[in-house]
Amino acid sequence: MRDVAVVAFAQSRAVRAEEGANEVEILMPVVSAAIERSGVPRKEIGFTVSGSCDYLAGVPFAFVQGLDAVGAWPPIRESHVEMDGAWALYEAWVRLQHGDVDSALVYAFGKSSLGDLPQVLTLQLDPYCMAPLWPDSISIAALQARAWLEAGHDEREMAEVAARSRKAALANPMAQVAQDLTPEELLKQPYLVSPLRRHDCPPISDGAAAVVLAAGGLAREVSERPAWIRGIDHRIEPHGLGVRDLTHSPSTRLAGERAGVGRATVDVAELHAPFSFQEVILRQALGLGPDVEVNPSGGALAANVMMGAGLVRIGEAAGRVSDGGAGRAVAHATSGPCLQQNLVCVLEADQ
Amino acid sequence: MTEAGPDPNEPVRSIRAPVHLEYHFMPGRASSRFLRGVEQGRLLGQRCPQCAKVYVPPRGACAACGVPTDEEVEVADRGTVTTFCVVNVPFHGQKIKLPYVSATILLDGADIGLFHLLQEVDAEKVHMGMRVEAVWAPPEQRKPTLESILHFRPSGEPDADYETYKDHV
């Protein structure tokens, strides 16, 4: 395998509704910042790939407009996934394995404020038996939370995740929701959709993120401390919720094993858990003990740009490696209802 | 024997699953400036700081260079037909009498063609290089939409030299 590293990351500040600006106007400064930080000249980037979803804006081929932010002339090698940008990054990593190009720009954007997100997300369900009932995404997550509680957990675990995430977000200027409240205070809040309280759910966010990858010698040339991708894998579970064990995440476990999470000590993990209890499921699936720092950024409970929050996890984890804060980091991204699809990426500094 | 109902062995060939989602429209800062300009009878574009091309309508970005286009430029409400088509096919919701002409018009001062209707001229007389001008709706009827220009019509000027629009065909 060819060595590939994250050499730059940029993101917009997540906000509930970016008034005035369209997707391109949100994305452009983020793409420019990532390219500038990478030290790779824009016109020398070998591959460009993005993650977004046309259903968020309700506009067909909305992702094509996103290319306005890139400068795609003369024509560039470009691709798109209708998925979180973390999967776009996976495609870029595969593309760099070909060996003919040495750098890639990966970006993601989502402007969920244009529609009713919990309703829009209903369209990712099985179209025959489930979607026609229009269960919204929070209700679906509440079903999973109930199953998880009945399997021997309690609401305090959920409140602890939410309290820690929101407190951590106080140190993250890009976060949307940040506050210092104890689990006890959070447990006094009313239910939003039982057993979920508002703080158990992610905020709805508008925003964008971008990462630049570089291979081998180029990564060493442009970065003092590249965050090397030492393992990356993604797995998916069946579409039908009824055939899955919602209290565990076998796809995360398998992706984590394939990515080599357990091969050495993990210093920090950025887990894409849109709902509080899902973090506990993910920690267990990845075998992360209590000594692993989880979501110092505040995670998806503090900012959850749809189609971008998974890429942000990789960017945040890489940032911890590159700034010397961690020697080995794990990033995770999820997509679909109830942690249906999961990607795990292991990032390391040079030994 | 029960009465004949749906045959349980017959495959289901279709289901009805209506989808209805409502969205807000968010044109963005650049397009908002353009649409507010149209409401006032002005055509506002933006110039790329790198390649100097003027986009009308502006998109807030130069798609070729990938940089923000901050400089606002007002362009003329007249220009040159770079290409056109004659519509002869009726379709649902059609408001205009057939045949009619849709044209791409390179406004004076712009580098991107604007798509609009061409009227007050016989379809067979329309040609590339034809000079045309905007016919605006009365000020009190203008809204932030390109429909505030009712259509374009021949301006009576001599045809433009091909050299002036050859990069836009």
Write down the pLDDT at residue B169: 86
CB contact under 8 A, A71 and B67: yes
Q: How confident is the model at residue B27 (pLDDT cuts 50, 70, 90)?
A: confident
Q: What is the pLDDT of residues A221-269, one digit of tens each?
A: 999 999 999 999 999 999 999 999 999 999 999 999 999 999 999 999 9
Looking at the predicted structure, is the pLDDT value of residue B123 above 60?
Answer: yes
The 10s digit of each residue's pLDDT in A189-199 is 999 999 999 99
- Which residue is listed with tokens 């070729």? B64
DSSP secondary structure string for all residues of A257-285: HHHTGGGS---EEE---SSHHHHHHHHHH
Do B66 and A119 make contact, defined as CB atoms within 8 angstroms? no
Q: What is the pLDDT of residue B3?
A: 67
Which token pair is A342? 């999961």
Min distance B123 CA to chain A CA atoms (Å): 32
State residue B2's pLDDT score: 58
Q: Across A63-67, A92-96, B5-9, B17-21, which has the greatest mean pLDDT?
A: A92-96
Structure tokens at A220: 């060493």
A302 closest CA partner among A154, A180, A144:
A180
If you average pLDDT over every residue of chain A, what do you get?
96
Q: How many CB pairs under 8 A join A and B?
A: 83
- Return all residues near B52 (Cβ < 8 A) that are at least 6 apart: none
Helix axes A137-150, A276-286, angle to 10 degrees: 60
Cβ-based neighbour number of residue A78 at 10 Å: 14
Supply the pLDDT for residue A155: 98
Write the pLDDT tens digit of every residue in A106-125: 999 999 999 999 999 999 99
How far, CA to CA in Å, does A12 sit from each of A32, A65, A210, A224, B70? Answer: 12, 18, 9, 24, 19
Set of chain A residues whose Cβ sits within 8 Å of the Cβ of B67: 28, 32, 71
Beta bridge partners of B85: B102
Residue A88: is its pLDDT beyond 60? Answer: yes
**pLDDT single digits (tens) B40-49:** 999 999 999 9
Supply angle C-alpha A228, A233, A236, rounded to 5.
Answer: 155
Asked whether A23 and A66 are in contact (CB, 8 A), the reply is: yes
User: Which residue from B19, B31, B66 is facing A69, i.e. has the nearest CB?
Assistant: B66
DSSP state of B137: P
> pLDDT tens-digit profile of A3-62?
999 999 999 999 999 988 889 999 999 999 999 999 999 999 999 999 999 999 888 888
Q: How far apart are CA B65 and CA A69, in angstroms?
A: 8
CATH for the A228-348 domain, from 3.30.360.10, 3.40.47.10, 3.30.420.10, 3.30.420.40:
3.40.47.10
Position B1 pLDDT exceeds 70: no
Contacts of B66 (CB under 8 A, 6+ apart): A28, A31, A32, A42, A68, A69, A70, A71, A72
Neighbours of B59 (CB within 10 A): 21
Which letter does DSSP use for residue B12 in this model?
Answer: P
CA–CA distance, A60 with A134 (Å, rounded to integer) = 22
ipTM of predicted complex: 0.85
Q: Residue B134's pLDDT band (boundaries 50, 70, 90)? A: very high
Q: Provide CB contacts within 8 A for A28, sequence distance 6+.
A: A68, A69, B60, B61, B66, B67, B68
Residue in chain A lying closest to B31 (CA) = A22
Mutation choice for A interface testing from B15, B20, B23, B59 by most A CBs within 10 A: B23
Q: Which of B21, B27, B67 sits opposite A22 (nearest CB)?
A: B27
Region(s) of chain A under CATH 3.40.47.10: 4-116+204-222, 228-348
Dump pLDDT digits (tens) for A211-220: 999 999 999 9
Fold classification of A4-116+204-222 is Peroxisomal Thiolase; Chain A, domain 1 (3.40.47)
State the average pLDDT over residues A285-308: 98
What per-residue confidence (pLDDT) applies to A62? 81
Instruction: Say whether A114 and B26 touch across the interface (CB within 8 A).
Output: yes
Mean pLDDT, residues B6-25 taken together: 92
Nearest residue on chain A to B14, alpha-carbon basis: A128
Domain boundaries, chain B: 29-168
Q: What's the mean pLDDT when you consider all of chain B?
A: 93
Q: Are B63 and A120 in contact (CB < 8 Å)?
A: no
Residue type, position A153, single letter: H
The continuous run of DSSP H or E covering A5 comes out as strand A4-11
| Chosen from A24, A36, A54, A78 to mutate, greatest number of chain B CBs within 10 A | A24
Whether A73 sits inside 8 A of B65 (CB atoms) is: yes
pLDDT digits (tens, 9 = 90+) for B55-73: 999 988 998 888 899 899 9
Are the Cβ atoms of A120 and B21 closer than 8 angstroms?
yes
Q: Do B66 and A68 touch (CB under 8 A)?
A: yes
The 10s digit of each residue's pLDDT in A136-164 is 999 999 999 999 999 999 999 999 999 99
Handedness of CA A206, A122, B27, A50 (dihedral sign): positive
Please list, in sequence order, all residues whose beta carbon lies within 8 angstroms of the beta carbon of residue A73, skipping any fewer than 6 positions away.
B63, B64, B65
Question: Taking CB atoms and an 8 Å limit, are A58 and B67 in contact across chains?
Answer: no
pLDDT band (50, 70, 90) for residue B4: confident
CA atoms within 13 A on the CB side of A308: 29
Query: Which among A31, A63, A68 is the top mutation candidate for probing chain B, defined by the most B β-carbons within 10 Å of its own β-carbon?
Result: A68
A332 contacts A272 by C-beta, under 8 angstroms? yes
Q: CA-nearest residue of chain A to B61?
A: A68
Q: How many angstroms separate the CA of residue B6 from the nearest CA in chain A?
A: 19
